[in-house]
Amino acid sequence: MSIINTHSHVYDEAFDSDRDEVIQRAVSLGVGKIILPDIDSSSRERMFSVANQYPDLCFPMLGVHPTSVNENFQAELDAFYAELPKRTIVGIGEIGIDLYWDKTFLEEQIEVFSQQVEVAQKRNIPIVTHVRKAFNETYKALRDLPSQNFKGIFHCFSGSKEEAFKVIDMGFHIGIGGVLTFKTSHLDEIVKAIPREKVVLETDDPYLTPVPHRGERNEPGYVALVAEKLASVWNCPVEEVAEITSANVLSIFTL
Ligand SMILES: [Zn+2]
């Protein structure tokens, strides 16, 4: 069995004391590949150093996270553009719009998101989109772009069934993580309703830890728990979940 984890921040400081063990544990739990989403200029060096250490396992992206967009957004964008020609990346992310904490920089978030989507389109590489309390704004920003040719993931999807189908209609896949294991979540109804070819797995570690580890630090190997839960929702063996979702990832990313 080989699971692809499409969203792990294993380069985060939360793993500084035991990163190698965490990565070995993920491999022993069946994780074959891990995609690393970028945050901003402050985390980038650490991300690329982990990717260099595990070149066959960890695949980095480049992007400015929406919560890193503030009055200094132009400096962050400049840093992003400066890295682009220097690095081997598999996608642009994580990028998007987040209005959960703060709506002050909505215009700037739209601008930074749109520019980065266009970079991905020009290079024909996927995007990984972070949306929090901003589905309509994100949808409109994408619809306003001159090219409607999209590929990538709406990561940690938290919208409605209707929104899931809108995202799929645009060409995107749906990223499913630990929230699927929460009793209060309605994600199981969504993953039952949408085509299986549109589902990919993730952890978003160190956050959003799946049951039975809720409250602890999340880690990339726990994607196996998400796969198990999805197997029970789909009523199929976990190996089949690994096979389907890995093939889905490889239809989007060149790894
Ligand atoms: Zn993330």
CA of 144 to the centre of ligand 1 (A): 25
CA of 60 to the centre of ligand 1 (A): 12
CA of 57 to the centre of ligand 1 (A): 18
pLDDT on residue 95 = 98
Tell me, what amino acid is at 67? T
pLDDT on residue 1 = 87
Rounded-to-integer distance, Cα 217 and Cα 219, Å: 7
In a 13 Å sphere around the CA of 118, the CA atoms on its Cβ side amount to: 13
DSSP category for residue 210: P
pLDDT digits (tens, 9 = 90+) for 179-193: 999 998 999 999 999
pLDDT on residue 148 = 98
Q: Which residue, 49, 78, 77, 47, is CA-closest to 64? A: 77
**Neighbouring C-beta atoms of residue 169, cutoff 10 Å:** 8
What is the phi/psi pair of residue 96, to 5°?
150, -155
Yes or no: say if 174 and 200 are a contact pair by the CB < 8 Å rule. Answer: yes
DSSP category for residue 195: -
Rounded-to-integer distance, Cα 221 and Cα 5, Å: 8
CA of 125 to the centre of ligand 1 (A): 18
**Is CATH 3.20.20.140 the classification given to domain 3-252?**
yes
Query: Which residues of the chain are under the pLDDT cut of 70?
Result: none
User: Ramachandran region of residue 96, left (φ > 0), alpha (ψ -120 to 50) or beta?
Assistant: left
CA of 37 to the centre of ligand 1 (A): 6
CA of 17 to the centre of ligand 1 (A): 20
pLDDT on residue 105 = 97
Yes or no: say if 173 and 153 are a contact pair by the CB < 8 Å rule. Answer: yes
pLDDT on residue 101 = 87
